Structure 1
Amino acid sequence: MKKLYQIPKSQLIVIMIFSVIGEFVIFISLVDCSDSYGNCGFLGFLSVLLPFLFIFYLVGWKHYNKSNLVTKIENVPSKFCTKCGEKNTLNSKYCVKCGELIIN
Protein backbone atom coordinates (compact mmCIF):
# COMPACT_ATOMS: atom_id res chain seq x y z
CA MET A 1 0.00 0.00 0.00
CA LYS A 2 1.27 3.46 -0.88
CA LYS A 3 2.07 5.81 2.00
CA LEU A 4 -0.05 8.94 2.10
CA TYR A 5 2.65 11.01 3.80
CA GLN A 6 6.36 11.38 3.40
CA ILE A 7 8.97 13.79 4.70
CA PRO A 8 11.14 15.12 1.87
CA LYS A 9 14.72 13.88 2.16
CA SER A 10 16.11 17.40 1.90
CA GLN A 11 14.05 18.57 4.87
CA LEU A 12 15.03 15.52 6.92
CA ILE A 13 18.72 16.10 6.17
CA VAL A 14 18.50 19.78 7.16
CA ILE A 15 16.72 18.91 10.42
CA MET A 16 19.29 16.24 11.27
CA ILE A 17 22.22 18.57 10.49
CA PHE A 18 20.84 21.32 12.71
CA SER A 19 20.06 18.89 15.54
CA VAL A 20 23.58 17.42 15.41
CA ILE A 21 25.14 20.90 15.35
CA GLY A 22 22.91 21.98 18.23
CA GLU A 23 23.80 18.91 20.30
CA PHE A 24 27.50 19.47 19.57
CA VAL A 25 27.35 23.13 20.66
CA ILE A 26 25.43 22.24 23.83
CA PHE A 27 27.85 19.40 24.65
CA ILE A 28 30.91 21.66 24.16
CA SER A 29 29.28 24.31 26.36
CA LEU A 30 28.59 21.71 29.05
CA VAL A 31 32.20 20.51 28.99
CA ASP A 32 33.48 24.09 29.03
CA CYS A 33 31.39 25.22 32.01
CA SER A 34 31.62 22.02 34.05
CA ASP A 35 34.07 23.62 36.52
CA SER A 36 32.08 26.83 37.03
CA TYR A 37 28.63 27.67 38.36
CA GLY A 38 27.27 29.16 35.14
CA ASN A 39 24.29 28.07 33.10
CA CYS A 40 25.22 24.37 33.06
CA GLY A 41 21.79 23.31 34.30
CA PHE A 42 20.06 25.11 31.46
CA LEU A 43 22.45 23.63 28.89
CA GLY A 44 21.85 20.17 30.32
CA PHE A 45 18.12 20.76 30.04
CA LEU A 46 18.55 21.81 26.39
CA SER A 47 20.67 18.75 25.62
CA VAL A 48 17.84 16.54 26.88
CA LEU A 49 15.10 18.62 25.27
CA LEU A 50 16.56 18.91 21.75
CA PRO A 51 16.12 15.23 20.71
CA PHE A 52 12.52 15.28 21.97
CA LEU A 53 11.82 18.43 19.95
CA PHE A 54 13.29 16.71 16.90
CA ILE A 55 10.99 13.68 17.34
CA PHE A 56 7.98 15.89 18.08
CA TYR A 57 8.64 17.91 14.92
CA LEU A 58 8.87 14.78 12.77
CA VAL A 59 5.65 13.30 14.16
CA GLY A 60 3.82 16.62 13.82
CA TRP A 61 5.07 17.08 10.25
CA LYS A 62 3.90 13.58 9.29
CA HIS A 63 0.44 14.22 10.71
CA TYR A 64 0.14 17.60 8.96
CA ASN A 65 1.43 16.26 5.65
CA LYS A 66 -0.84 13.21 5.86
CA SER A 67 -4.00 15.28 6.37
CA ASN A 68 -3.10 17.60 3.48
CA LEU A 69 -2.43 14.74 1.08
CA VAL A 70 -5.63 12.95 2.03
CA THR A 71 -7.73 15.99 1.15
CA LYS A 72 -5.80 16.45 -2.09
CA ILE A 73 -6.34 12.82 -3.10
CA GLU A 74 -10.07 13.02 -2.32
CA ASN A 75 -10.45 16.07 -4.57
CA VAL A 76 -8.93 14.34 -7.62
CA PRO A 77 -11.60 13.61 -10.24
CA SER A 78 -12.24 9.89 -10.26
CA LYS A 79 -11.53 7.72 -13.29
CA PHE A 80 -12.89 4.23 -13.79
CA CYS A 81 -11.08 1.22 -15.20
CA THR A 82 -12.63 -0.04 -18.44
CA LYS A 83 -11.82 -3.67 -17.60
CA CYS A 84 -12.99 -4.12 -14.00
CA GLY A 85 -14.80 -0.82 -13.25
CA GLU A 86 -12.59 -0.03 -10.24
CA LYS A 87 -12.59 3.64 -9.21
CA ASN A 88 -9.09 5.16 -9.35
CA THR A 89 -8.57 8.02 -6.86
CA LEU A 90 -4.76 7.84 -6.69
CA ASN A 91 -4.40 9.54 -10.11
CA SER A 92 -2.15 6.78 -11.48
CA LYS A 93 -1.95 5.52 -15.05
CA TYR A 94 -2.81 1.93 -14.12
CA CYS A 95 -5.71 0.35 -12.26
CA VAL A 96 -4.94 -0.59 -8.67
CA LYS A 97 -7.00 -3.79 -8.82
CA CYS A 98 -6.20 -5.34 -12.21
CA GLY A 99 -3.26 -3.29 -13.55
CA GLU A 100 -5.05 -2.23 -16.75
CA LEU A 101 -4.00 1.06 -18.39
CA ILE A 102 -6.56 3.79 -17.64
CA ILE A 103 -7.39 6.16 -20.48
CA ASN A 104 -9.10 9.50 -19.78
Structure 2
Amino acid sequence: MTQVHFTLNSGEVQSIIEHSVKEDVSKNILSTVFNQLIKNQRTEYIQADDYQRSESRQSQRNGYYERDFTTRVGTPRLKVPRTRDGDFSPTVFERY
Protein backbone atom coordinates (compact mmCIF):
# COMPACT_ATOMS: atom_id res chain seq x y z
CA MET A 1 0.00 0.00 0.00
CA THR A 2 1.34 3.43 -0.93
CA GLN A 3 1.68 6.00 1.79
CA VAL A 4 1.38 9.67 0.92
CA HIS A 5 2.93 12.38 3.06
CA PHE A 6 2.57 16.06 2.28
CA THR A 7 2.55 19.28 4.22
CA LEU A 8 -0.10 21.96 3.94
CA ASN A 9 0.87 25.49 4.81
CA SER A 10 -1.48 26.48 7.62
CA GLY A 11 -1.32 30.12 6.52
CA GLU A 12 -2.50 29.12 3.05
CA VAL A 13 -5.41 27.12 4.45
CA GLN A 14 -6.35 29.97 6.80
CA SER A 15 -6.26 32.42 3.88
CA ILE A 16 -8.57 30.15 1.84
CA ILE A 17 -11.04 29.99 4.71
CA GLU A 18 -10.99 33.77 5.31
CA HIS A 19 -11.34 34.80 1.67
CA SER A 20 -13.88 32.22 0.53
CA VAL A 21 -17.62 32.33 0.40
CA LYS A 22 -19.16 29.91 2.90
CA GLU A 23 -20.11 27.37 0.19
CA ASP A 24 -16.71 27.58 -1.52
CA VAL A 25 -14.56 26.91 1.57
CA SER A 26 -14.70 23.15 1.35
CA LYS A 27 -14.26 23.22 -2.43
CA ASN A 28 -11.15 25.43 -2.15
CA ILE A 29 -9.62 23.29 0.60
CA LEU A 30 -10.35 20.17 -1.43
CA SER A 31 -8.66 21.62 -4.52
CA THR A 32 -5.61 22.64 -2.45
CA VAL A 33 -5.28 19.11 -1.03
CA PHE A 34 -5.74 17.47 -4.45
CA ASN A 35 -3.25 19.83 -6.12
CA GLN A 36 -0.62 19.03 -3.49
CA LEU A 37 -1.32 15.30 -3.75
CA ILE A 38 -0.97 15.31 -7.55
CA LYS A 39 2.21 17.38 -7.37
CA ASN A 40 3.74 14.86 -4.93
CA GLN A 41 2.73 11.97 -7.20
CA ARG A 42 4.58 13.63 -10.10
CA THR A 43 7.69 14.04 -7.93
CA GLU A 44 7.54 10.32 -7.07
CA TYR A 45 7.09 9.45 -10.74
CA ILE A 46 10.08 11.56 -11.82
CA GLN A 47 12.19 10.37 -8.85
CA ALA A 48 13.71 13.82 -8.34
CA ASP A 49 12.69 16.99 -6.50
CA ASP A 50 12.40 20.40 -8.16
CA TYR A 51 15.77 21.49 -9.64
CA GLN A 52 17.44 18.31 -8.35
CA ARG A 53 19.82 16.43 -10.61
CA SER A 54 19.58 12.69 -10.24
CA GLU A 55 20.75 9.70 -12.25
CA SER A 56 17.51 7.87 -11.41
CA ARG A 57 15.38 10.65 -12.96
CA GLN A 58 12.60 9.25 -15.17
CA SER A 59 11.44 12.41 -16.95
CA GLN A 60 11.25 16.21 -16.62
CA ARG A 61 8.48 18.49 -15.38
CA ASN A 62 6.51 20.15 -18.17
CA GLY A 63 4.11 22.63 -16.57
CA TYR A 64 0.45 22.25 -15.70
CA TYR A 65 -2.95 22.17 -17.34
CA GLU A 66 -6.29 22.89 -15.68
CA ARG A 67 -9.06 20.33 -15.35
CA ASP A 68 -12.42 20.29 -13.61
CA PHE A 69 -12.90 17.52 -11.08
CA THR A 70 -16.49 16.72 -10.10
CA THR A 71 -17.03 15.77 -6.44
CA ARG A 72 -19.95 15.78 -4.01
CA VAL A 73 -18.65 19.07 -2.61
CA GLY A 74 -18.60 20.80 -5.98
CA THR A 75 -16.43 21.00 -9.07
CA PRO A 76 -13.02 22.45 -8.21
CA ARG A 77 -10.60 23.33 -10.99
CA LEU A 78 -7.32 21.48 -10.44
CA LYS A 79 -3.86 22.28 -11.76
CA VAL A 80 -2.73 18.93 -13.13
CA PRO A 81 1.05 18.61 -13.59
CA ARG A 82 2.56 17.22 -16.80
CA THR A 83 5.82 15.49 -17.60
CA ARG A 84 7.93 15.78 -20.73
CA ASP A 85 7.39 12.13 -21.72
CA GLY A 86 3.59 12.42 -21.28
CA ASP A 87 3.32 9.11 -19.41
CA PHE A 88 2.45 10.55 -15.98
CA SER A 89 -1.17 10.12 -14.94
CA PRO A 90 -2.35 11.06 -11.43
CA THR A 91 -4.29 8.42 -9.51
CA VAL A 92 -7.02 10.96 -8.74
CA PHE A 93 -8.38 10.63 -12.29
CA GLU A 94 -9.53 7.38 -13.83
CA ARG A 95 -7.93 6.32 -17.10
CA TYR A 96 -10.29 6.55 -20.08
What band does the TM-score fall into relative to the shorter chain?
0.3 to 0.5
More strand by share: 2
TM-score by length of 2: 0.36
Structure of greater Rg: 1
TM-score by length of 1: 0.34
More helix by share: 1
Name which structure has the greater RCO, CA cutoff 8 Å, separation 6+: 2
